[in-house]
Structure 1
Amino acid sequence: MRLRGRKGILESIESQTDLCVLDASQYKGKWHEFFGNDRPIYVELGMGKGQFISQMSVRNPEINYIGVDMYDELIRRASEKGRIAWEEKGEETPPNLALLRANIENIDEMFEDNELERIYLNFSDPWPKSKHARRRLTHPRFVEKYMNKLNVRGEIHFKTDSQSLFDFSLNSFADMELVMRNISLNLHKDEPREDLVFTEYETKFYHLGQPIHRVEVVIGEDVLKEHREQKKTKYRM
């Protein structure tokens, strides 16, 4: 896929060193230095135009967010949305947001093991042909990498409009014996979930009446323990 954009895109993002990162290797294992704090780091892999990650950063200032995409034009658009989102807060630069230009295939070069607390996969390319299954971001070869990057409170949150990709993903997680919670086959069936931030695609599909599928995958030891304790308490009631 090639994106058309205005001239000077690369120059624009290169000049935004306070927000845009074009070389992930310089911060691998040091992302807290970029943010200047030790707060948890949440990453959206494949952020598109940046609506989700920008709004999440505003809604949760106690969390550091990194949006990842491989196209210069998407980094530029996300930088605009991020700055606009924080203008109302009086911030010229989003204090807890970074936009990283990188290919998700190279996640091992982007983050150190145990460096992340949450990974978002929102409306990833479904790669519908069977021969392309290994390219799906919920294929076990990717999930294994995510698991290494996540810490003891690590989780994966996955949303898609593709029923086939969702089925594939649930089977992928199950085959890896991962714990899943909050599985939804139609996330906004009754009314829009105001507690969740919409992506651009999600807004479009919601207004078209298309069901959105969502699941949370519990990875880290600490959050797994909490999840199991909550289930025990629930069943005792």
Structure 2
Amino acid sequence: MRLRKKWWARPEIEKSNIFVENPSDSKGDWNNVFKNNNEIHLELGCGRGQFVTNLATKNRNINYIGVDLKDEVIVYAIRKVEKAEREDKSNIDNARFITMNIMGIADVFDENEVGKIYINFCNPWPKARHNKRRLTHNNFLKEYKKFLKPEAEIWFKTDDKGLFEDSLEYFKESGFKVTYSTYDLHNSDFRENVKTEYEEKFSKMGMNIMFLTAKLL
């Protein structure tokens, strides 16, 4: 879905202290950005930020970075954190957001700098000639391995069966061990799920959510 350009979005996000304008400048130095040595987790394609906001609110001992391409969605992610701060009456200082093309993600993080990646409802790119654009494709997994810690995990959710089944193979081919998988997350025995905006919408429509966790070997 193409977003209409919101010219006011960029000036607003640049005023926020949780937006990192030049993320490549922080490569190898993200713990200084957060001013602590806590583990760093990424959500790739964070959208409007509900997922990161909920995680950051619940787990103050983990640093979260939401990544998306568009200012027009990151501005709402930042607003969600600010709203959560008002409601919680405390600073949520373990969340940051960046805008960038995820193809360049290895230029932003250094070796062993990230402990977990979340990929939620990414574009399935169903045409064979477009498969390499999938965020779970071998080409992307190769890039993630450049900055993931040993035995780091990737958690992946989708409503697209073709993407899910192909991703199971991508992970195995790229040196990850699939440690959990289900074709029906909400009726599974998995108890650590945090819902995204899309997930809430899809589940209300009766659609199954597929989910896997994969560990770097």
- Shared topology, TM-score over 0.5? yes
Corresponding residue number in structure 2 for 1:8: 8
Distance verdict in 2 for CA 1:175–1:153, change over 3 Å:
closer
How far the C-alpha of 1:5 sits from its partner, in A, is 5.5
Instruction: Give the conservation status (yes or no) of the 8 Å contact 2:3–2:72.
Output: yes
Instruction: Give the conservation status (yes or no) of the 8 Å contact 2:63–2:94.
Output: yes
SS of alignment partner, residue 132 of structure 1:
helix
Corresponding residue number in structure 2 for 1:179: 177
Q: Which amino acid aligns with 1:174?
A: K
Distance verdict in 2 for CA 1:134–1:48, change over 3 Å:
same
2:63 counterpart of 1:64:
yes
Match of 1:207 among 204, 207, 210: 204
2:76 counterpart of 1:77:
yes
How far the C-alpha of 1:152 sits from its partner, in A, is 2.4
Corresponding residue number in structure 2 for 1:55: 54
Q: Which amino acid aligns with 1:145?
A: E
How far the C-alpha of 1:145 sits from its partner, in A, is 1.1
**Distance of 1:7 and 1:71 partners within structure 2:** 12
Instruction: Give the conservation status (yes or no) of the 8 Å contact 2:106–2:146.
Output: no
Distance verdict in 2 for CA 1:108–1:190, change over 3 Å:
closer
Structure 1 runs (4+) greater than 6 angstroms displaced: none
Instruction: Give the conservation status (yes or no) of the 8 Å contact 2:141–2:174.
Output: no
Q: Which amino acid aligns with 1:187?
A: L
Q: Which amino acid aligns with 1:95?
A: D
**Distance of 1:177 and 1:29 partners within structure 2:** 24
Q: Which amino acid aligns with 1:206?
A: S
Corresponding residue number in structure 2 for 1:112: 110
**Distance of 1:105 and 1:190 partners within structure 2:** 32
- Stretch deviating more after TM superposition (2-11 or 199-208): 2-11
Instruction: Give the conservation status (yes or no) of the 8 Å contact 1:19–1:94.
Output: no
Instruction: Give the conservation status (yes or no) of the 8 Å contact 1:189–1:211.
Output: no
**Distance of 1:35 and 1:111 partners within structure 2:** 14
**Distance of 1:13 and 1:190 partners within structure 2:** 38
How far the C-alpha of 1:88 sits from its partner, in A, is 2.5
Instruction: Give the conservation status (yes or no) of the 8 Å contact 2:40–2:115.
Output: yes
**Distance of 2:49 and 2:94 partners within structure 1:** 14
Instruction: Give the conservation status (yes or no) of the 8 Å contact 1:107–1:145.
Output: yes
How far the C-alpha of 1:182 sits from its partner, in A, is 1.7
Please show how residues 218-233 of structure 1 align to structure 2 within 5 Å: 218-219=215-216
How far the C-alpha of 1:26 sits from its partner, in A, is 1.5
**Distance of 1:72 and 1:43 partners within structure 2:** 18
Instruction: Give the conservation status (yes or no) of the 8 Å contact 2:41–2:64.
Output: yes
**Distance of 1:61 and 1:5 partners within structure 2:** 34
Distance verdict in 2 for CA 1:86–1:110, change over 3 Å:
same
How far the C-alpha of 1:4 sits from its partner, in A, is 2.2
SS of alignment partner, residue 209 of structure 1:
coil
List runs of 5+ in structure 2 lacking aligned partners.
none
Q: Root-mean-square deviation (CA), in Å?
A: 1.6
Q: Tell which structure's C-alpha radius of gyration is larger.
A: 1
Corresponding residue number in structure 2 for 1:169: 167
Instruction: Give the conservation status (yes or no) of the 8 Å contact 1:70–1:103.
Output: yes
- 1:75-106 superposed Cα distances (whole Å, 9 cap, x missing partner): 10000011112222212x42100011111001
Instruction: Give the conservation status (yes or no) of the 8 Å contact 2:106–2:144.
Output: no
